[in-house]
Amino acid sequence: MSRLPAAKRREQLLDCAAELFSKAGYARATTAELAKAAGVTEPIIYRHFKSKRDLFIALVERGAERTLSQWKQELRGAKDPAERLRRLLGDNPMVSAHGRDAYRVLLQSITEVGDPLIHEAVQGHMKNLHAFLTKEIAAAQAEHRVMRIFSDEIIAWLLIYIGLGYGILTAMKIDEHGTDRDRRHVQDVIARILVGREKREERED
């Protein structure tokens, strides 16, 4: 067993837990299995997390932090609010390589939200994402790039609903979902409804 600084060991345990929980499920996975996957003893796990529940909560919280960090990175260099929204629509963390395991773990919280601490973590996760999207939509509305008939808050929830639904169907391995016979993707429809056509498309019409 190699020795790692505490912060790195904690991240390693979270990475291993995300992979294990996404495959075996939170309820079925054991700390013994996690210790084996991480190449440590169980007491090492309990030095960093009081319980499997605390580990699960840390994963939920880290998932939101990583999603927001990834979105901010995606938005670097975007020229205007419309382009920023297009980029966000193209980066669903539930199906991306950087977020897939974390969100499959998050989906397991459906059976765990009776636990008040887990519920609080899940609620905080979603509200953080909602606040970020609401701010982006408000900026686009202020520049008349997104319709104002609906509030920035409700549009942000709509995007979260769609993202979750798409992510769940992807996790369920549903073939060819989200596209029609012409290969148009639901992402294209949402982008057109929210921010209209890109200038290149307008010139081609």
> What are the structural domains of the chain?
77-204 (1.10.357)
pTM, two decimals, is: 0.86
Q: What is the pLDDT of residue 44?
A: 94
How many C-beta neighbours within 10 Å does residue 116 have? 8
CB within 8 Å of 166: residues ≥ 6 apart = 92, 94, 95, 177, 178, 186
Q: In Å, what is the CA distance from 132 to each residue of 51, 67, 94, 105, 109? A: 31, 10, 17, 22, 22
Q: What is the pLDDT of residue 103?
A: 87
Q: What is the pLDDT of residue 205?
A: 40
Terminal Cα distance for the chain, rounded: 63
Distance CA 100, CA 157 (A): 20
- Answer whether 151's CB lies under 8 Å from 90's CB: no
Q: What is the pLDDT of residue 53?
A: 93
Q: What is the pLDDT of residue 199?
A: 46
How confident is the prediction along the chain (205 residues), in pLDDT tens digits per residue? 567 788 999 999 999 999 899 888 888 899 999 999 999 999 999 999 999 999 999 999 999 999 999 999 999 999 899 899 989 988 888 888 777 888 888 888 888 888 999 999 999 999 999 999 999 999 999 999 898 899 999 999 999 999 999 989 988 889 989 999 998 989 888 888 888 755 444 434 4
